[in-house]
Amino acid sequence: MIKVNGIDIEADGTVFADKTVAEYLSTTNYDCKRIAVEKNGDIVPKAKYAETLLAEGDSLEVVSFVGGG
């Protein structure tokens, strides 16, 4: 199981193990300029989305920002 924001993203049978963070994000509506991604509590640097591999048991937090302040 791989979780994003507490939800199992493999529940529908899609396998994300050995896929990269960038590959996962490309399946979502997230705007990469407006997010921060943490994997197992550590920030994933923006420059490393395309080389950071997901593995069984990983937990991602994708924080997405909206405008206003």
Partner 1 sequence: MVSREEMLKALVIRQGAENVAKLQAATVAVCGLGGLGSNVSISLARAGVGKLILIDFDCVDVTNLHRQQYKASQVGVAKAVALPENLREIAPYLQIEAHEVRISEENVLELVGKADVVCEAFDNAESKAMLVNAVLEHNAELPAEKQQFLVAASGMAGFGDANSIQTRRVSKKFYMCGDGVSDVNNGIGLVAPRVMACAAHEAQTVVRLICGMDGLAKVPEHIEEPPRQARGT
Residues engaged in binding partner 1 (CB under 8 A): 6, 33-36, 38, 41-43, 45-46, 59, 61, 63-69
Q: How far is the CB of 7 from partner 1 (least distance, A)?
A: 12
Q: Which two tokens stand for residue 63?
A: 């924080």
Q: Which is nearer to partner 1, 16 or 58 (CB)?
A: 58
Q: Which is nearer to partner 1, 14 or 64 (CB)?
A: 64
Q: How far is the CB of 69 from partner 1 (least distance, A)?
A: 4
What is the C-alpha separation between 60 and 63, in angstroms, rounded?
A: 10
Q: Work out the number of other CB atoms within 10 angstroms of the CB of residue 51.
A: 11
What is the C-alpha separation between 59 and 69, in angstroms, rounded?
A: 29
